[in-house]
Each structure stands twice: as structure tokens, then as C-alpha cells.
Amino acid sequence: MAFIMTRINVGDFDAWKQSFDKDLPRARETAKGYRLFRNLEDPGEVFVQVEFTTSADAQTARDRLRSSGVLKRFADTSGPSVVEEVESVRR
């Protein structure tokens, strides 16, 4: 299992979400699912976690996202990074 993690300041979350849902770069085409997180103090700051079965699928999705240019619209972005989970604890 592998993930793409991205942090981005989108400004207007509702407007960004409409574009995100369209997935024009097809970055989530082979994804198992995704999770969105918003900063409570700055609702325009969004963390995106997209889950894939394989690291190869995640890398392909990351490459599609990068080459699409959609992230270049935002000055404040970190990622997309392909990561793997090394530990999970739930209480």
C-alpha cells in the first residue's frame, strides 16, 4: 500500500473542491480512496491523502498530477509525495 500526500493552501475550499472532484489529471483513477483534511485555523489549508494498492500506481498518479500543471496555480504547496505507512496506532 502507498499514498500520495499533498499539502496545499487553496484559498476558497468550496471552489477548489469542485475542481478536485473532477480529477482532470486522472490522479485518482486507480486510487482505492482518499481523505481530505482542513486546518481549523486556516480553512484554506488542505491536506490530501490518496491511497493506492501499489507504489507504482501512486508514482504514476503523482507524475500525472505534476505534469498536469494544476498545482502551479497555488503558491503554497508541499508535495505531492509518495509515501508508505510505517506505523499506525489507534486508541
Q: Please compute the mean of the pLDDT values over residues 60-73 and round it to a whole number.
A: 94
Confidence (pLDDT) at 61: 97
For residue 69, is it within any domain? yes
Domain enclosing residue 66, as ranges: 2-83
For residue 88, is it within any domain? no
For residue 90, is it within any domain? no
Q: To the nearest whole number, what is the mean pLDDT of the chain?
A: 95
Q: Please compute the mean of the pLDDT values over residues 7-34 and round it to a whole number.
A: 96
Confidence (pLDDT) at 71: 92
How many other C-beta atoms can be found within 10 angstroms of the C-beta atom of residue 44? 15
In the chain, the number of structural domains is: 1
Residue 47 burial (10 A CB sphere; 0-12, 13-18, 19+): middle
For residue 32, is it within any domain? yes
Q: Are 37 and 50 in contact (CB under 8 A)?
A: no
For residue 91, is it within any domain? no
Q: What is the pTM of this model?
A: 0.92
For residue 31, is it within any domain? yes
The domain that holds 46 is classified in CATH as: 3.30.70.100
